[in-house]
């Protein structure tokens, strides 16, 4: 059974209005530059420097053997390695670093090393094949397959392919999509019939926004790269299921629905990100303006929602990193300066208020530092260093 990391209640955020942006930049008692100066080390300047510094801290404190990582630091888990969801986000962080102009050359080998780290999780004994939630024997005990875990990796592989042209990454992304399609609910008697289940685990029959939105993104990417219409057909089905079953009256997406028809109505930032990103990719795939209109509507609704009552600050960093990335995907086809501005404000506040300058680790809550949160901050700062001309390579 996969353990979900607890949701943080003290997390970095961003806002829209100028006055609120100013609040984000307010001095903090533990402001990083002053503390770093006290240690004799210069504070990193610029997004690329922040990203590389934070990734170096990730490698220093979370390394757990050849190419593998800890779930948290200090590690209080029984497992000696992280589950695949946190690992995948560290791998995406390395991929984002490799995409930074200039700086990225230093991280190309690191991105490859992180890709290699997926292999101990790959399960070839089942049909379709896919990544287990934990390492397979002999390094681990394996685990249930989660469709969203596999989708995150599929999207990472697409981004890696678009940067490097590595055909094996594209081939593995296709295998993952076969698994995702296998997860479709085919029982017409279910409430909101259809949709990709969250997991193959017997203890959950939920269908989630987060197992359908990234599935739609993956399918749309595969269509754009191969022109195989089956990918587009499935991407549209996943997208429409989420719109029909998970879209709330306020224009944002709820989390999931169970087989009793009960909807879990929390509105996490990553759900908004994957659905607006899917809309952008379907617009690119079909040329239909309604997909772009829907993507912009979700962007506007989410900017307004998370920009009030400090809501973004209360969202997990790992979720916000996905929301930000998808705002940049939207920005690649319809420029709006608000997207990068809210992302930068978030980074500035996290750097000032959550980062320990002595270690380079981000402490958003009491207790151990989560790999997911450290990786999320690397992702955010690395993408802040990307030029807009490269946003169409994101996945």
| Residue 43 confidence (pLDDT) | 58
Partners of 184 in the β-ladder: 196
Closest of 273, 263, 344 to residue 303, by C-alpha: 273
Query: Residue 333: pLDDT above 50?
Result: yes
Position 41 confidence tier, pLDDT thresholds 50, 70, 90: low
Domains, the chain, ordered by start: 18-393 (1.50.10.20)
Q: How far apart are CA 351 and CA 32, in angstroms?
A: 7
What DSSP element (H or E) covers 18? Answer: helix 18-24
| Residue 126 confidence (pLDDT) | 94
Predicted confidence (pLDDT) per residue in 185-216, tens digit? 999 999 999 999 999 999 999 999 999 999 99
Q: How much is the average pLDDT of 174-188?
A: 98
Q: How much is the average pLDDT of 313-341?
A: 98
Q: What is the mean pLDDT of the chain?
A: 91
What DSSP assignment string belongs to 244-298? HHHB-TTSSB--EE-TT--EE----HHHHHHHHHHHHHHHHHH--HHHHHHHHHH
Query: Residue 136: pLDDT above 80?
Result: yes
Distance in angstroms between the alpha carbons of the first and the last residue of the chain: 28
Position 52 confidence tier, pLDDT thresholds 50, 70, 90: very high
Whole-number percent of the chain with pLDDT over 90: 88
| Residue 27 confidence (pLDDT) | 31
Exposed, middle or buried: residue 148 (CB in 10 Å: 0-12, 13-18, 19+)? Answer: buried
Count of residues making up the chain: 395
Partners of 69 in the β-ladder: 63
Query: Residue 32: pLDDT above 70?
Result: no
Query: CA 334: distance to chain centroid?
Result: 21
| Residue 81 confidence (pLDDT) | 97
Compare 180 and 18 and report the one with higher pLDDT: 180
Query: Residue 157: pLDDT above 90?
Result: yes
Collapsing DSSP to helix, strand or coil, 79 comes out as coil
Predicted confidence (pLDDT) per residue in 354-386, tens digit? 999 999 999 999 999 999 999 999 999 999 999
| Residue 40 confidence (pLDDT) | 47
Collapsing DSSP to helix, strand or coil, 35 comes out as helix
- Comparing 40-54, 297-311, 375-389, which segment has the lowest mean pLDDT? 40-54
| Residue 364 confidence (pLDDT) | 96
Q: How much is the average pLDDT of 207-235?
A: 98
Position 66 confidence tier, pLDDT thresholds 50, 70, 90: confident
Exposed, middle or buried: residue 90 (CB in 10 Å: 0-12, 13-18, 19+)? Answer: buried
Beta strand pairing status for 72-73 and 369-370? antiparallel
Q: What are phi and psi of 144, to 5 degrees?
A: -65, 155
DSSP-derived secondary structure letter, 312: G
Predicted confidence (pLDDT) per residue in 5-31, tens digit? 333 323 333 333 333 333 333 333 333
Whole-number percent of the chain with pLDDT over 70: 89
Q: How much is the average pLDDT of 341-359?
A: 98
Query: Residue 49: pLDDT above 70?
Result: yes
Predicted confidence (pLDDT) per residue in 244-272, tens digit? 999 999 999 999 999 999 999 999 999 99
Q: Tell me the pTM.
A: 0.90
Query: Residue 75: pLDDT above 60?
Result: yes
Name 246's Cβ contacts closer than 8 Å, sequence gap at least 6.
209, 212, 253, 254, 255, 256, 257, 263, 271
Predicted confidence (pLDDT) per residue in 85-116, tens digit? 999 999 999 999 999 999 889 999 999 999 99
| Residue 42 confidence (pLDDT) | 54
Query: Which residue reads 């055909």 in tokens?
Result: 167
């Amino acid at each position: 059974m996969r353990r979900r990391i607890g949701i943080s209640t003290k997390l970095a955020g961003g806002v829209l209005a100028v006055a609120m942006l100013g609040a984000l930049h307010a001095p903090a008692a533990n402001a990083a530059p002053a503390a770093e100066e006290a240690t004799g080390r210069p504070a990193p300047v610029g997004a690329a420097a922040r990203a590389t510094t934070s990734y170096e801290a990730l490698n220093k404190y979370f390394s757990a053997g050849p190419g593998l990582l800890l779930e948290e630091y200090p590690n209080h888990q029984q497992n000696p390695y992280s589950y695949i969801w946190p690992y995948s986000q560290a791998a995406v962080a390395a991929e984002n670093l490799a995409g930074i102009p200039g700086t990225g050359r230093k991280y190309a080998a690191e991105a490859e090393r992180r890709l290699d780290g997926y292999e101990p999780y790959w399960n070839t004994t089942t049909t379709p094949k896919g990544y287990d939630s934990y390492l397979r024997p002999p390094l681990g005990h394996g685990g249930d397959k989660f469709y969203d875990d596999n989708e995150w990796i599929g999207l990472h592989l697409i981004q890696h392919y678009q940067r490097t042209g590595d055909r094996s990454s594209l081939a593995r992304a296709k295998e993952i999509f076969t698994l995702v399609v296998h997860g479709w609910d085919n029982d017409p008697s279910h409430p909101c019939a259809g949709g990709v289940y969250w997991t193959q685990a017997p203890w959950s029959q939920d269908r989630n926004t987060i197992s359908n939105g990234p599935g739609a993104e993956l399918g749309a990417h595969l269509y754009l790269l191969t022109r195989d219409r089956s990918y587009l057909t499935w991407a549209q089905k996943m997208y429409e299921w989420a719109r029909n079953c998970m879209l709330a009256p306020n224009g944002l997406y709820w989390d999931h629905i169970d087989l009793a028809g009960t909807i879990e109505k929390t509105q996490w930032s990553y759900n908004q990100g994957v659905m607006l990103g899917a809309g952008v990719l379907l617009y690119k795939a079909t040329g239909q303006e309604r997909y772009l209109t829907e993507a912009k509507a979700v962007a506007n609704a989410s900017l307004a929602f998370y920009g009030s009552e400090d809501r973004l600050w209360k969202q997990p960093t790992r979720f916000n990193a996905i929301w930000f990335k998808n705002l940049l995907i939207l920005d690649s086809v319809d420029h709006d300066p608000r997207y990068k501005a809210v992302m930068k404000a978030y980074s500035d506040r996290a750097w000032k208020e959550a980062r320990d300058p002595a270690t380079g680790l981000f402490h958003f809550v009491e207790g151990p530092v989560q790999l997911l949160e450290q990786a999320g901050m690397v992702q955010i700062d690395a993408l802040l260093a990307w030029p807009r001309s490269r946003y169409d390579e994101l996945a």
